[in-house]
Structure 1
Amino acid sequence: MKEMSKYNYFHKAVAIVSILTAAQAWAADTDRDSLSVEIEMSGTVSNGKYAPMWTTANRFGMSGNEIKNGYLSAEVGYSRELKHNWRTEIGLELAAGLNTVSDAWIQQAYWDISWTCLNLSIGSRERYGWPLEKNAELTSGWMVEGTNNRPIPQVRGEIKEYWSVPGTAKWLALKGHMAYGYFPDGKWQENFVAPGQKFTRDVLYHSKALMFRLGNKEKFPAEFEFGLMTAAQFGGDLMKKNNDGSVIMQQDMPDGLKDYWKIFIPGRDSRLANVQGNHCGSWNFGLNLYFDEWRVRGYLEHYFEDHSQMFWQYGRWKDGHIGVEINFPKNRWIETIVWEGLNTTDQTGPILYDDVFSFKDIQMSGCDNYYTNGQYLGWQNYGASFGHPMLLGPEYNSDRSNRIISSRVKAQHLGVTGNPTNEWRWRMLMTYSRNWGTYFEPFDNIKKQFCGMAEVSYSPESLRHWDFKIAVAMDRGTYPGNSTGAMMTVRYKFSK
């Protein structure tokens, strides 16, 4: 890296730290409801072609996948209780990175205004476990969208937490959201893709979800959750990069006012090859059981990209993400265990619109090719898969194409965490996956991969604002490959 770049990194870091140090000093003399300041620095050193998977994945796009990378972030958050059940919350997080997808960026910038159970969120904000709750510390990921990439700037109306429906004695509760936003990574795509490759820019975002919960654990030790989430890309431009680095537009996707409604209720569009936009979604199910101090949770996230997997048209569901989480009674060593299984190999089978002469009335809509679309290419943001990280994003593509090279994956995952003392905490993640490529471009042989990480956290009581984490990680296999490395994170957090 050039010396001037290092000089800029240093001054960006100094500026961030100076601003937040001043904010902390100001907070000491105020009577605001809540003000928090957080500064975090993290660095990874490894060998191989890429940094180990679990030093990169599910970190909201902060870490890079290069073998040596790091970042410095600083966050200010403020919230205040208002009269008549109103509440407001604002936050700003700035970051600078070394060997990350951006030199400096705004990680979060949001304003939330809430009244009772309703919330309006404007801007980009990190969100955990929506709409299906999973253990963010131990899970391998979410299928539609999760914690694997930077937050999308959006306007979002929501019921964030389960709200008990009046008149049901707390036996029925619901939550949901509707959002429109914007994918900000168009320039990154243009710089990333190789000459001759396609990319998108100015793409718009839409998502919505509705979840129900049946049960009252105060009366009966079980709860059942179910619901639907859908998400989509629409609008924007499909571009192609020329050999000389210039770009040409290949398709201008519709993004007028009426198209916001068309993306809300998908329908065929004569201007495009199929329905308008790039759609995906999941049916979500959860079962919580409570036994004294034990809690057992099972969940299923069934992923789909069109009607062929959305309903039972093609038989039983074979693709999805299933898991079991066990929370143990308080003890010195093990707090929670999570097991998960992932399968995306079916995709409604290998036949796509097969026009067999003797069966002209039968439409075979297979080859769903998850996370890839004809107009919108990869379901990604800044090179990271927008959904589950085991379907590796374009950042791992040596040909610098904007697509998911292997969408047909089976994986087993185990996560364990413990809290031996008030100062020490540990967690371990282990994942074994098999990768087939895609129906259209299958691998010559099954690529197998193991990804593991062990992490220890130390929060000394004598330094109550500080947290220290050290992780060692190892990948072994053929996709993405072998690597061994370590990651260290230091965090300072002050709140008032």
Structure 2
Amino acid sequence: MGRLLPIIICLCGVSVASGQERLSLTDSLQYRVGFQTTLSAGDNTPLWLNANKYGLSSLKTTNGYVRGAVERPLSADDGRCWGLGYGVDVAVATGFTSTLVVQQAYVEGRWQKGVLTVGAKEYPMELKNQELSTGSQTLGINARPIPQVRIALPDYWTIPITGNWLALKGHVAFGKTTDDNWQEKFVAPRQRYTDGTLYHSKAGYLKVGPKNITLELGLELATQFGGTSYLYENGVEKVYKNDGGLKAFKNALFMSGSDATDGDFRNAEGNHLGSWVARLNFDQPAWNLGLYADQFFEDHSMLTHFNKSGDKYMRYDFKDWMLGAELKLKHNPWLQNIVIEYLYTKYQAGPVYHDETSNIHHQISGRDNYYNHHLFTGWQHWGQVMGNPLYLSPLYNSDGNIEVCHNRFVAWHLGLSGTPLSNLHYRFLATWQKSYGSYYYLPPNPEENTSLLAEVSYRLRQGWSLNGAFAMDSGKLRGDNYGIQLSIVKTIK
């Protein structure tokens, strides 16, 4: 019996000190209600009042919502070998792409360190500061969550035989987008749209080093597949019912197969994209410095930076990067975090594209056209890109075209934050961007833009908090926009 007691405690979640033997699914509940309003002057809501809010935002100059949520976090069962959690998060909005927004609705279970989640949930970015970064290029926080089934190792698990030197985490997920009705309403006649698009993402991260210098390496991959694509070719509507069976799920998982429109030039089935990511951390008693990189790619060529055609190899340059640095000052409340980022996306495997033919015996495979695809409406959900918002989201398009027209750009970004008082927090963002359009959309001249944000959050007693922000855009890319955003939130734990 003595040997079985630890096992029984683990399985039943018994707290010996308290004598608690049963789990209550209504304990540790957290409630949140809130109100937000945004008022702007110009053509659109300024960038940083709209971006990186998990899609719960709008470009319309007057918008707002009332929001309510209830959640039982998995952390309520941290003392057990297993745990159960769930959440529902709903907003009633005005000036948005829909009036009723089910932002989150999920259930999840944990066994040891593994977690299974079913439903729509907001997931944070990896290896980047959540409030100061411009955003991850593949798995960002700019669009509404996609309902999915997700198996994850969310926190680093140390590999036992490595002497605490190696740890890993990651996830695999399959889901389905929910913006079919929005696409049909937004799209102009004779423009491409899709119905029932399926979604797949996976990522793995390896952490090296147990002490004050650590290196994190990761690969993030994502795919859009299945559903029905409505295209117009030479003025004639063409409808393609993409494969959504088990074979299509396998092809999404392993980046294989081919699309119905490929013909003699076979590519992987669906819209495949991803990022190589890395972060080097230096942790000291008074500060922490992180240097990170996010190298985006759209197909196999930029995934490996090599392309084999016959007996010849083509090497692609390492030009398209997001490079960043984050400095945390541990004992300086007035300025706690500093983020600097540089983005360059002009290369995209080069300006030339062709497949191997009987006359041209070498495949070039350039003009990757980031966040776009010939069959699908690109890396977007409800009009917002699902990666970094400096790629101009389709919501900005006034011609009813669901496409990212500005994906070749150079940008610099600065983010600052601090907590000068225990209940007062601020952040400041400044971004400069110069866009060259895309290989398929060439503006007469490059279009520049400067975007600023100043935001202050104040915590009151009894779970109340106030948030006020001022933001602006200046330039031809997004127009001259000015706006304020006010929110009030009440949290009960």
TM-score by length of 1: 0.88
Q: Which residue of 51, 54, 68 maps to 1:57?
A: 51
Shift of 1:33: 3.9
Q: Which residue identity lines up with residue 309 of structure 1 in the other structure?
A: M
- Equivalent in the alignment of 2:471: 473
Change (3 A) 1:191 1:145: same
Confirm or deny: 8 A CA contact 1:77 1:91 kept in the other structure: yes
Q: Which residue identity lines up with residue 322 of structure 2 in the other structure?
A: H
Q: Deviations over 1:322-357 (max 9, x none)?
A: 110000022231010000111111001100017799
Aligned-partner Cα distance in 1 for 2:470–2:382: 25
Q: Which residue identity lines up with residue 383 of structure 2 in the other structure?
A: G
Change (3 A) 1:83 1:477: closer
**Percent identity of paired positions between Structure 1 and Structure 2:** 36
Q: Which residue identity lines up with residue 163 of structure 1 in the other structure?
A: W
1:167 alignment partner, SS class: helix
Q: Deviations over 1:109-153 (max 9, x none)?
A: 011100111000100000111xx3211110101101211011010
Q: Deviations over 1:142-181 (max 9, x none)?
A: 1012110110100000100111111222211000110000
- Equivalent in the alignment of 2:193: 199
For the pair 1:301 / 2:294, whether they are aligned, the reply is yes
2:354 alignment partner, SS class: coil
Confirm or deny: 8 A CA contact 2:317 2:349 kept in the other structure: no
Aligned-partner Cα distance in 1 for 2:259–2:44: 42
Q: Aligned ranges for residues 410-489 of structure 1 at < 5 Å?
A: 410-460=410-460, 463-489=461-487
Confirm or deny: 8 A CA contact 2:450 2:475 kept in the other structure: yes
Aligned-partner Cα distance in 2 for 1:482–1:357: 51
- Equivalent in the alignment of 1:323: 324
- Equivalent in the alignment of 2:21: none
Confirm or deny: 8 A CA contact 2:127 2:278 kept in the other structure: no
Aligned-partner Cα distance in 1 for 2:258–2:154: 33
Instruction: In structure 1, list runs of 5 or more residues that go unmatched.
Output: 1-29, 242-246
For the pair 1:272 / 2:266, whether they are aligned, the reply is no
- Equivalent in the alignment of 2:340: 339
Shift of 1:258: 1.7
Confirm or deny: 8 A CA contact 1:369 1:407 kept in the other structure: yes
Shift of 1:197: 1.3
TM-score by length of 2: 0.89
- Equivalent in the alignment of 1:291: 284
- Equivalent in the alignment of 2:274: 281
Confirm or deny: 8 A CA contact 2:146 2:176 kept in the other structure: yes
Aligned-partner Cα distance in 2 for 1:473–1:354: 46
For the pair 1:180 / 2:174, whether they are aligned, the reply is yes
Aligned-partner Cα distance in 2 for 1:445–1:83: 60
- Equivalent in the alignment of 2:5: none
Confirm or deny: 8 A CA contact 2:280 2:291 kept in the other structure: yes
Confirm or deny: 8 A CA contact 1:58 1:147 kept in the other structure: yes
Change (3 A) 1:293 1:271: same
Change (3 A) 1:375 1:114: same
Confirm or deny: 8 A CA contact 1:33 1:81 kept in the other structure: no
Aligned-partner Cα distance in 2 for 1:366–1:423: 51
Confirm or deny: 8 A CA contact 2:242 2:259 kept in the other structure: no
Q: Which residue identity lines up with residue 42 of structure 2 in the other structure?
A: G
Confirm or deny: 8 A CA contact 2:271 2:378 kept in the other structure: no
Shift of 1:31: 9.6
Aligned-partner Cα distance in 2 for 1:465–1:106: 23
- Equivalent in the alignment of 2:106: 110
Shift of 1:76: 0.1
- Equivalent in the alignment of 2:71: 77
- Equivalent in the alignment of 1:16: none
Q: Which moved more, 1:307-316 or 1:469-478?
A: 307-316
Aligned-partner Cα distance in 2 for 1:315–1:367: 12
Q: Deviations over 1:42-67 (max 9, x none)?
A: 11101110010000000011111111
Q: Deviations over 1:265-316 (max 9, x none)?
A: 1224263323200000111111110121210001111100112211232343
Q: Which residue identity lines up with residue 234 of structure 1 in the other structure?
A: F
Confirm or deny: 8 A CA contact 2:115 2:154 kept in the other structure: yes
Confirm or deny: 8 A CA contact 1:378 1:394 kept in the other structure: no
Shift of 1:321: 1.2
Confirm or deny: 8 A CA contact 2:428 2:455 kept in the other structure: yes
Number of residue pairs matched? 454
Q: Aligned ranges for residues 35-434 of structure 1 at < 5 Å?
A: 35-79=29-73, 80-81=76-77, 85-129=81-125, 132-217=126-211, 221-239=212-230, 250-269=239-258, 271-273=260-262, 274-313=267-306, 314-353=315-354, 360-434=360-434
Q: Which residue identity lines up with residue 221 of structure 2 in the other structure?
A: T
Q: Deviations over 1:361-402 (max 9, x none)?
A: 321111000000000022100000111101011100010101
Aligned-partner Cα distance in 2 for 1:40–1:378: 32
Q: Deviations over 1:423-446 (max 9, x none)?
A: 211110010001111112211100
Q: Which residue identity lines up with residue 182 of structure 2 in the other structure?
A: W
Q: Which residue identity lines up with residue 162 of structure 2 in the other structure?
A: T
Aligned-partner Cα distance in 1 for 2:128–2:227: 32
Instruction: In structure 2, list runs of 5 or more residues that go unmatched.
Output: 1-23, 307-314
Backbone CA RMSD of aligned residues: 2.0
Q: Which residue identity lines up with residue 260 of structure 1 in the other structure?
A: F
1:262 alignment partner, SS class: helix
Shift of 1:81: 2.2
Aligned-partner Cα distance in 1 for 2:289–2:244: 45
Aligned-partner Cα distance in 1 for 2:385–2:422: 35
Aligned-partner Cα distance in 1 for 2:278–2:78: 35
